[in-house]
Every structure is written in structure tokens, then in C-alpha cells.
Structure 1
Amino acid sequence: MTVSTIEGSHGTVAVHDWPVADPSWIAILVHGYGEHLGRYPHVAARLNAAGATVSGPDHEGHGQSAGERVLIEDFETVVDDLDAVVSRAVTANPDLPVIMIGHSLGGMIASRYAQRHHDRLLALVLSGPVLGSWQATALADLDEIPDDPLDTSTLSRDDAVGAAYAADPLVWHGPFKRPMLRSIARTLETINHGGDLGDLPTLWVHGEADTLVPIGPSRAGIERIRGTDLTEIIYPEARHEVFNETNQDAVLDDVIDFIRVKLA
């Protein structure tokens, strides 16, 4: 992996790259709230093995990118920055198809990207996406937002995943910020009324036991934007981070199988 920077909408954006020799497609990874793309090397390795050159940004205010921590007031500019990363990857690898893979809040960002830039993608993969509505945004209406630490056991049945998350200095471990919550709520409404994905092949994977981003609201959001080519896989007993779950190999197999079909 290499990390470089580009100039984003509000300062420098760190871009992670996992290149391969003679790639046959481009994978763009889109991470979730409070985390960073440095948590995804095992995902990138599986995509590399399937022939992809892999890239993705740390969003504004996340990971190694500039900005106040976990404060995004306009996700449209985050989509702009993501498009700059796509353009950079396409310039380096002309004529290769692009597949975007978004997890959690990254699923929201990737969905908005697909609404705005449908023609740039061959397919879209959404993992535990924040879509439809998200219960956390209601915290913005409280007089004081509680500083409750994340229960890391909600991430995965693998305790090591939670322990690594808790020890990661680039992960945000503080409270939600009111402007961020309100920006998420606005973006969800924008997506809900932003039109469907047409014929864009879309894979939705979700843990059945996900309490951070429950299936119900995500399903309602998927139904608002789904196009004509949607594949859904729900994993029994799996929690929020299905790419870090005890059955992660099977999940990544499913993702790669879906991608291979679309590449063919």
C-alpha cells in the first residue's frame, strides 16, 4: 500500500493505493464513519488477487486527511473528492471498468456517488449501508450529545476486531458532532429523493445481527433507490462489519463472485 495526497474540497485528502501489475479492473473503496481506509488491507488483498488495482480516500476529517475530526457539513463535496480519486485511478489505468465498494456511511456516500455519476461505474457494492434513515441522527436534537463510547462488540463476533478498533489512533473515539449528524440526515433525504440507480448492477450485503446500522431502515433506503439489477445477501448472526466478521472469507467470496459476473 502507498498513501499520497490530493487537494480536496477542504484541504488535503489522503489516498490509499494497492496496485497490481496488469490490472483488469479498478476497485474504489469507500470507508465508514469515524474510521479510515487503513483498516482495509485484507479487503484490498482479496480484490488484488481478483485482478483489481485498488484505491480510495480517507474522507475529510477522517484518518490521514485534513479537516476537523468527524466533521463533514456537506457530503456533496465528499462525493466531489471521491470523484477526483476515481478520475485519478482512471487516468492511471485508462479504459478499465470501475467498481465502487462502500461500507456503512461509505455506503451512503457511494450511493450518492452512483446517483450523480452512474455512467462512471460498472457496478456498486454496498456493505451495511447507512440508507433510508439512521437512528443516530436523532442525537442532533438533544440538548447535549452523550459521549458514549462505541460498544466494539457490535462490529464483529471476532473480539480481535473490536480490540484493534479501540486501539487504533486514527479511529475517532469521541462523540458525534451535531453538524455532522444533521449533514448525514440531509444527505439521506437527498438520496431518498435523488432517483433510482437505473440498470447499475448493485450488490447489497448486510449482517442480520447488525445493531449499528439495522437492516430495516437500510432496506427501506435500498427500496427507494434500487434499480433493475439488485442482488441482496443477508448473513445470519453477522454484525456490522461483514468484511471483518468470522465469515469474512465467505463474504468476500460473494463480493468477488458478483464482480466477476459483471466483469464478464
Structure 2
Amino acid sequence: MPHVREHVLDGTHGTLAVRQWPHPAPRCLALLAHGYGEHAGRYGELAARLTGHGAAVYAPDHAGHGRSAGERVLIEDFEDVVTDVHTVADSARAAHPGLPLVLVGHSMGGLIAARYAQRYGDELSALVLSGPVIGAWELPGRLLALEEIPDVPVSPSALSRDPAVGAAYAADPLVWHGPMKRPTLEAFARTLDTVDRSGDVHGLPLLWLHGDDDRLVPLPGSRAGVERLSGGRHTGRIFPGARHEVFHETCKEEVFAELLAFLDRVLPR
């Protein structure tokens, strides 16, 4: 694994903990947006593949997640989270001016990344969405219809066919293992609608990665959202049997190969 550095930035709701996997002479910058309830530290292997391919990698813990400030998993407005990610991007560009920027978003991070591309797409060279919460995701509506949000955490077995992934997730003290919170669900619903109504990303190269056995963010709902976001112009790869976290799946070598080949096609040499 490459050496990881950590620093803090001022975010919209307090301090943001940011991990950085440096490269001595990067050819691009990669910005990672993690999913709900987790943290950027779970993306060390992805960062290693990217730094090995010439990227300097930056990844914040979103507000209320990991080592960043805020009530745990409370997000009242995803626009603020997008602004935080943009703050990290500005910091990365200041350290490495002139390099192309790639944004990789997983799950909730895919929703954040999609909205980021709508707001700041002219600053991106490529967008990668992994199991993205985009399009028709029914969970917020189902839970908000209930009088009380049930205390049902994410099932570790839904993440990957590799049992070690679920075991590490279950034992991780920086992962949230409690119930979802109503304001966060309401913010999900609003932002899904905002992304749906805010148009496509005007030809920005987009790679969509998804497992066809994703039980947390089902494939059909994401497909509809990706089609709208990309205007039908995207590269998609669906992995048979894979669950939600394709970067942690038993087929991860295929996933990494797909990602790196895409970057080679769309980034300037």
C-alpha cells in the first residue's frame, strides 16, 4: 500500500478529515467520494491502484462520517457535502496545478459525485460512478413513510461475496452501525430529485460500474439515473454476481482493470 497522509480542512459544517495518497510525479488527480456510513480509509486498495497508475489521490471523510466533524451520519443538505468535496479538489489543484481531475463516487458518494459533475463539471476530466445512489432509489421513500425509522444497519454480507470484507466492515469503529436518520433520508430524496431535474453532464466521460446482485442499490434504478445523467453517452460494466462494493468484490481485479483502461482512454497522455 502507498503511504497515506492525513490533514484537515475547513468544511461547511466543521473540520473535514482528508486522506491523501501522494505520487512523486502525478499525471492526474483522483478524488474519491465514499458511501453512506463509512469513511475514506476503506479505499486504500483503490487508492493504491490509482497511485500505481500515476494519480495523486485525495479522499475526504464526509461531514458526520469517519474522522470529520458533525453528528454521525447526519446530512441535512447534500449541496453542502458537494461544496466540501469541491474544497478538497481546490486544495489538490493548488498542490498540483494543471493536472486533469477524476472524480470517483461510490454509492452515496455516487450521488455526491453526480451532483458535483452538474455543478462543477467543467473542472473534471472524467467521472466514475460505482453502485451509485442515482435515479430510482426506493429506500428513502419507504423509510420516510414509517412513523419510526427501524434500527436496521447495513448488512455486511450485502457488500461483497468476500466474507473478509463484511467482517472488517462490522469490526470497523469508524463505520456507523446504527439506524438511518430522518433528515438524512429527506436529504437523499431531495438530492435524487435535484440530480434528476438538473440535466446531463454535457459529454463528460463517465464510467458506470455495478454488480448485478447489488441488494443495497439495485441495478435498474441506477441504470435509469446514469442514462439521464450521461445523456446516454457513458461506458458501463455490470459484473455478474457482484454485490454492492465492486472495488472490494471477488472480481475486483476485473473492476480495477476496467477503471484503469477507461482512464487511459479518456485522460491526456
Tell me the TM-score range normalised by the shorter chain. over 0.9
Structure 2 CA distance for aligned equivalents of residues 150 and 49 of structure 1: 31
> Is 1:57 paired with 2:57?
no
1:75 to 73, 78, 85: 78
Single out whichever of 136-145 and 30-39 deviates more from structure 2. Answer: 136-145
> Is 1:152 paired with 2:156?
yes
Listed one character per residue, the Cα deviations across residues 51-79 of structure 1 (whole Å, up to 9, x for unaligned) are 00000110000000000000000110111
- Residue identity opposite 2:104 in structure 1: I
Structure 1 CA distance for aligned equivalents of residues 77 and 148 of structure 2: 22
Single out whichever of 141-150 and 163-172 deviates more from structure 2. Answer: 141-150
> Is 1:16 paired with 2:24?
no
Q: CA deviation at 1:228?
A: 5.9
Structure 1 CA distance for aligned equivalents of residues 155 and 266 of structure 2: 37
- Say how many residue pairs are matched: 264
SS in 1 for 2:73: coil
TM-score, scaled relative to structure 2? 0.97
Matches within 5 A, 1:8-47: 8-47=11-50
- Asked whether the equivalents of residues 198 and 228 of structure 1 are also in contact (C-alpha less than 8 Å), the reply is no
- Asked whether the equivalents of residues 125 and 204 of structure 2 are also in contact (C-alpha less than 8 Å), the reply is yes
Matches within 5 A, 1:171-250: 171-227=175-231, 229-250=233-254
- Structure 2 partner of 1:90: 93
Structure 1 CA distance for aligned equivalents of residues 79 and 155 of structure 2: 30
Structure 2 CA distance for aligned equivalents of residues 183 and 228 of structure 1: 26
- Asked whether the equivalents of residues 133 and 185 of structure 1 are also in contact (C-alpha less than 8 Å), the reply is no
> Is 1:132 paired with 2:132?
no
- Residue identity opposite 1:151 in structure 2: S
SS in 1 for 2:16: strand
Q: Unaligned stretches of 5+ in structure 2?
A: none
Q: CA deviation at 1:235?
A: 0.3
- Asked whether the equivalents of residues 27 and 54 of structure 2 are also in contact (C-alpha less than 8 Å), the reply is yes
- Residue identity opposite 1:263 in structure 2: L
> Is 1:163 paired with 2:167?
yes
Q: CA deviation at 1:149?
A: 2.9
TM-score, scaled relative to structure 1? 0.98
- Asked whether the equivalents of residues 30 and 102 of structure 1 are also in contact (C-alpha less than 8 Å), the reply is yes
Structure 2 CA distance for aligned equivalents of residues 126 and 168 of structure 1: 24
1:66 to 63, 66, 69: 69
SS in 2 for 1:166: helix
Q: CA deviation at 1:3?
A: 1.1
Listed one character per residue, the Cα deviations across residues 13-56 of structure 1 (whole Å, up to 9, x for unaligned) are 01110001010000000000000000011000000000000001
- Asked whether the equivalents of residues 206 and 215 of structure 1 are also in contact (C-alpha less than 8 Å), the reply is yes
Structure 2 CA distance for aligned equivalents of residues 163 and 203 of structure 1: 29
Q: Unaligned stretches of 5+ in structure 1?
A: none
Single out whichever of 42-51 and 126-135 deviates more from structure 2. Answer: 126-135
- Asked whether the equivalents of residues 200 and 228 of structure 1 are also in contact (C-alpha less than 8 Å), the reply is no
Q: CA deviation at 1:96?
A: 0.3
- Residue identity opposite 2:85 in structure 1: L
- Asked whether the equivalents of residues 13 and 60 of structure 1 are also in contact (C-alpha less than 8 Å), the reply is yes
